């Protein structure tokens, strides 16, 4: 596919992402996406077979872009804490900007269509954080004790705040609390189960 | 209402809770609850007007029982860390026993019926943890810096793990990680936003 095709696919993903965020996965049809993009039915189906294909590509693209960014920053020898804070900035924006968040659609998708996508994203996310942790430990910035436990907190506290912020009014302070606790855990370590 | 009536209501709530956990809120009808309890339509409606009434009472009862337990333990001057670990035991069991968890039904309820119930439970939960934190600080067991931030992590990491454990396979270690990180945060404090 040429450059023009790639541009069209990207435009489709962007328009579809806004619809998914607004209505959830199952309520968005290929017809809705035709209307939002201004493409004909044939024009849309030339690029994507169904909404699931678009949905999956949106997430896989975001994950890959984010991983590439972190790996590049590590290669540039940026301090791990700085990279962490950049990541936290994205996460906090998403937590507070819940209307555009795809947290509920991905949960719905995992519940109703396939859990494979989320399993894959979760695994990729985990590995990405592991690389950043190992880098921070190697630089003496993070304590090693149990970075795996901190990753659990990073991933699931984020999910909890994101999902609930679509429904109830979570104060902005919650996103700050999240960042501060994660930094604290990395600087002081987190006890392993064996040392209780 | 006499003792027999209270016993019947409790039995209704127990049977209904199992149905909600299994099917979500909106998929359970008063007819399903008649079948599960063996009550006639008239017998059920004498106690509850609709499924929302039963659903709300299940949560409010659990929250009150839990609050009373903590307040009693504080009054008995049990160490705060011991009370915390008892609480963590409940939370961990629920996180790992996701099929019986009401985490998804309450999310669905808040999204589709009313957010008031969750707002109220969240507020009560927050205040309960605040009392335990203040007690732990007064005994010199917990550091004071920013217990509010730790409560955010307690509440939302729990929500994230619970909700996702219904969908994907989260290792048991995640519940241990959660407990260990919370203890770590309480013992080392968590920096406030102002001290970044």
Higher pLDDT, A190 or A61: A61
Dist CA A146 CA B48 (whole Å): 49
Please give, rounded to a whole number of angstroms, the shortest distance from the CA of A86 to a CA of chain B.
14
Each residue's pLDDT tens digit, B66-81: 999 999 999 999 999 9
The answer, for B14 touching chain A at a CB cutoff of 8 Å, is no
Which of B193, B103, B194, B183 has its CA nearest to residue B150? B183
Please give, rounded to a whole number of angstroms, the shortest distance from the CA of B15 to a CA of chain A.
24
Provide the 3-class DSSP secondary structure of residue A26: coil
Q: Token pair for residue A29?
A: 């049809």
ipTM beyond 0.85?
no
Note the pLDDT of residue B111. 83
The answer, for A180 touching chain B at a CB cutoff of 8 Å, is yes
Residue B163 has its nearest CB partner, among A107, A122, A152, at A107
Cβ atoms A114, A170 nearer than 8 A: no
Note the pLDDT of residue B163. 84
Given pLDDT bands bounded at 50, 70 and 90, which one contains residue B189? low
Of A164-168, B6-10, B168-172, which has the strongest mean pLDDT? B6-10
The answer, for A96 touching chain B at a CB cutoff of 8 Å, is no
* B96-122 mean pLDDT: 86
Which chain B residue lies closest to A176 (C-alpha atoms)?
B193
Contact across the interface for A184 and B189, Cβ inside 8 Å: yes
* A10-28 mean pLDDT: 94
Write down the residue that tokens 């090693």 correspond to. Answer: A144
Higher pLDDT, B159 or A43: A43
Q: Mean pLDDT, chain A, as a whole number?
A: 89
The Cα-based distances of A98 to A50, A105, A162 in angstroms read 25, 12, 7
Q: How far is CA B5 from the centre of its chain?
A: 25
Given pLDDT bands bounded at 50, 70 and 90, which one contains residue A92? confident
* Residues from chain B contacting residue A143 (CB–CB below 8 Å): none
Given pLDDT bands bounded at 50, 70 and 90, which one contains residue A196? very low
Higher pLDDT, B99 or A157: A157
Helix residue ranges, H only, A1-50: 3-23, 30-37, 41-47
What is the dihedral angle through the alpha carbons of A49, A52, A53, A59, rounded to the nearest 10 degrees? Answer: 160
Please give, rounded to a whole number of angstroms, the shortest distance from the CA of A185 to a CA of chain B.
7
pLDDT for residue B128 is more than 50: yes
Note the pLDDT of residue B165. 85
pLDDT for residue B187 is more than 90: no
Note the pLDDT of residue A38. 97
Each residue's pLDDT tens digit, A149-182: 999 999 999 888 888 888 888 888 888 999 999 9
Q: What is the model's pTM?
A: 0.84
Q: Mean pLDDT lowest for which of A73-87, A164-178, B92-106, B148-162?
A: B92-106
Note the pLDDT of residue A190. 54
Contact across the interface for B163 and A159, Cβ inside 8 Å: yes
């Amino acid at each position: 596919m040429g450059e023009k095709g790639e541009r069209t696919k990207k435009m489709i993903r962007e328009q579809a992402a806004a619809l998914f965020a607004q209505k959830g996965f199952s309520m968005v049809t290929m017809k809705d996406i035709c209307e939002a993009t201004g493409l004909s039915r044939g024009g849309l189906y030339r690029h994507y077979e169904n909404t699931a294909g678009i949905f999956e590509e949106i997430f896989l693209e975001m994950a890959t872009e984010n991983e590439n960014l972190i790996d590049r920053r590590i290669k540039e020898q940026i301090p791990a804490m700085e990279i962490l804070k950049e990541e936290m900035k994205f996460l906090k924006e998403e937590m507070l900007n819940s209307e555009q968040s795809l947290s509920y659609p991905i949960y719905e998708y995992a519940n109703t269509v396939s859990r494979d996508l989320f399993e894959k994203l979760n695994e990729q996310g985990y590995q990405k954080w592991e690389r950043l942790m190992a880098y921070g430990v190697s630089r003496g910035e993070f304590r090693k004790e149990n970075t795996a436990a901190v990753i659990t907190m990073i991933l699931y506290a984020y999910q909890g705040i994101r999902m609930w912020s679509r429904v109830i009014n979570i104060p902005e302070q919650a996103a700050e609390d999240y960042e501060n606790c994660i930094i604290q855990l990395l600087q002081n370590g987190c006890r392993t189960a064996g040392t209780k």
